[in-house]
Each structure stands twice: as C-alpha cells, then as structure tokens.
C-alpha cells in the first residue's frame, strides 16, 4: 500500500452506524498518516458511564439537570498506549477502560447522546481537539456538525447481520454473556435513535464518500480510503 503524504494538514471525518468498524478504520488511518485519532463515540460513552455512576439514569429516563452540572467542568483526554494508536480515554484523570464497553453503557449511550446539552459540550470539546488539524475523528455527526468543512468525509455502513456478528464476537471475546438476538436488538434500537433524534441525527454528510464494508477485510477498507486520499492529491 503506497501512502502519499497529504499535501496539506487535514481533518478526516468518518461517520456511520454502530459496529461497522469506524474506530478500526480511523485508528489504522491515523497510524499510517501519523495523525491524531479521536474516538468521539468513546466520549459519549464516557458521559454515559458518568451518568450511570451517579445514578442519573432510570429506565431510559435521565436527570438532565444533574447531568449538566456534572459535565460542566468535565475533562476528557486520550492517551496513546502503544504503537498501533490504541488509546485509553481519561475521564477527569480516571481511565475506566473496558467499563465503557459494558452492556449497560451500550444500552444507554444513545439516550444520553441525544441530549442537547451533552451534544453541545462534546462538539465544543471535539472542535478544540481538532483545532490544529492532522486528526482523524469518527462518530455520528463529525462530517455534518463537528467539522462540516472536513477535508475528507467518509460515511460507513454494513448490513445489520454483519454488524451484529461483529459486535457479538467482540463481546464474546470479553466473556460478556449476551445472545445474538440481544445484540441485534440493541443495534436496531441505537440505529433508530441515532437516525431520528432532534440533535445532530445520523446522516450522510454532504460530499461524503460511502464505504459499505460488509464484505471487506480490515486491510481492504484501509486500502480503499488511502486510494481516495491519494486520488484527491491529484484531482
């Protein structure tokens, strides 16, 4: 794979559905470009984890006023822990690790993510993280809201069956007891909430290239985006 160094510092925005491999592609791309990788989804999981820790979530109902107080002075940062751009997210200096990927957080993150004050805070923080460019950021609204003028925009998708299988296998490797149907229902619910929420709904950004990686390997999807970046250098 021949990587042509971008002629200018760029912001690369990768949006798409849950469990379609956004983080994997974004991390791999940031690694070969020597860019900073920012996992915006982990930031929303961080807020969800905090809300759960403080008992602010009750049967999909959230104490928004208290949550607003908690995130007012929230500090989120990323700490690279190896040469593959694997990261730990630090929440007010604490690294919750795999707790952010728990089924409880997964079941509630879409409800937290649709809250206006949460999205406003996260967008503010994400824009600060990308102010010097040279970043690859993935999420749901990066190319539409956070960085609508991003240099490269990708919208990722994959079939529900494929996404369910990927997420199911990921959870199984972590010894999390959950059925295939439970994972599928969780993804369907998250898709519905992401697409229908009033605040920054999930949609393809203007000018975004669509990547359906249902039947692509990790290497193939990376080669695809690298080829698109290389093409842009000569367009």
Q: Please give the full DSSP string across the chain, using - where no structure is assigned.
A: -PPPPPSS--EEEEEE-TTSSHHHHHHHHHHHHTPEEEEHHHHHHHHHHHHHHTT-EETTEE-HHHHHHHHTT--EEEEE-STT--EEEEETTB--GGGGGSHHHHHHHHHHHT-HHHHHHHHHHHHHHTTT--EEEEESSIIIII-TT-SEEEEEE--HHHHHHHHHHHHHHTT----HHHHHHHHHHHHHHHHH-SSS---PPTTPEEEE-TT--HHHHHHHHHHHHHHHHT-
The pLDDT assigned to 59 comes to 83
Closest by CA position to 22, among listed 138, 135, 187: 138
Q: Is the pLDDT of residue 85 over 60?
A: no
Q: Which residues of 91-112 are buried (b: 16+ CB within 10 A; e: fewer)?
A: beeeebeeebbbeebbbbbbbb
Question: Is residue 66, in this structure, part of any structural domain at all?
Answer: yes
Question: Is residue 39, in this structure, part of any structural domain at all?
Answer: yes
Question: Is residue 1, in this structure, part of any structural domain at all?
Answer: no
CATH number where 206 lies: 3.40.50.300
Q: Is the pLDDT of residue 72 over 60?
A: yes
Closest by CA position to 76, among listed 112, 144, 114, 124: 124
Q: Is the pLDDT of residue 206 over 60?
A: yes
For the residues 50-55, what does the mean pLDDT come to? 94
Q: Is the pLDDT of residue 103 over 90?
A: no
For the residues 179-187, what does the mean pLDDT come to? 95
The pLDDT assigned to 102 comes to 87
- Residue with the larger pLDDT of the pair 231 and 187: 187
> What CA–CA distances, in Å, run from 10 to 20, 32, 128, 221?
23, 14, 15, 19
Mean model confidence pLDDT for the chain? 90
Work out how many domains the chain is built from and give that number. 1
Question: Is residue 235, in this structure, part of any structural domain at all?
Answer: no
Q: Is the pLDDT of residue 124 over 60?
A: yes
Question: Is residue 5, in this structure, part of any structural domain at all?
Answer: no
Nearest-angstrom CA–CA distance, 89 and 85: 12
Question: Is residue 85, in this structure, part of any structural domain at all?
Answer: yes
The pLDDT assigned to 8 comes to 81
The pLDDT assigned to 78 comes to 87
**What confidence tens digit (pLDDT) does each residue in 130-157 have?**
998 999 999 999 999 999 999 999 999 9
The pLDDT assigned to 37 comes to 92
The pLDDT assigned to 230 comes to 84
123 pLDDT tier (thresholds 50, 70, 90): very high
Question: Is residue 3, in this structure, part of any structural domain at all?
Answer: no
End-to-end CA distance of the chain: 20
Range(s) of the domain holding residue 195: 11-229
Question: Is residue 4, in this structure, part of any structural domain at all?
Answer: no
The pLDDT assigned to 234 comes to 57
């Amino acid at each position: 794979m021949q990587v042509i160094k971008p002629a200018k510092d760029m912001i690369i925005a990768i949006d798409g559905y849950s469990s379609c491999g956004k983080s994997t592609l974004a991390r791999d791309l940031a690694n070969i470009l020597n860019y900073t990788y920012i996992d915006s989804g982990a930031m929303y999981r961080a807020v969800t984890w905090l809300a759960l820790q403080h008992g602010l979530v009750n049967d999909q109902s959230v104490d928004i006023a208290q949550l607003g107080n908690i995130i007012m002075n929230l500090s989120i940062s990323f700490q690279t822990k190896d040469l593959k751009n694997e990261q730990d997210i630090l929440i007010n200096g604490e690294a919750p690790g795999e707790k952010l990927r728990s089924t409880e957080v997964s079941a509630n993150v879409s409800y937290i993510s649709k809250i206006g004050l949460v999205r406003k805070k996260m967008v503010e923080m994400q824009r600060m993280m990308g102010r010097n460019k040279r970043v690859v950021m993935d999420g749901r609204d990066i190319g539409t809201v956070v960085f609508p003028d991003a240099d490269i925009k990708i919208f990722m998708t994959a079939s529900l069956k494929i996404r369910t299988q990927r997420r199911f296998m990921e959870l199984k490797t972590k010894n999390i007891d959950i059925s295939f149907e439970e994972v599928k229902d969780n993804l369907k619910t998250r898709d519905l909430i992401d697409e229908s929420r009033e605040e920054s709904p999930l949609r393809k950004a203007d000018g975004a290239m669509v990547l359906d990686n249902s039947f692509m390997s990790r290497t193939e999807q990376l080669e695809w985006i690298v080829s698109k970046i290389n093409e842009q250098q000569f367009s």
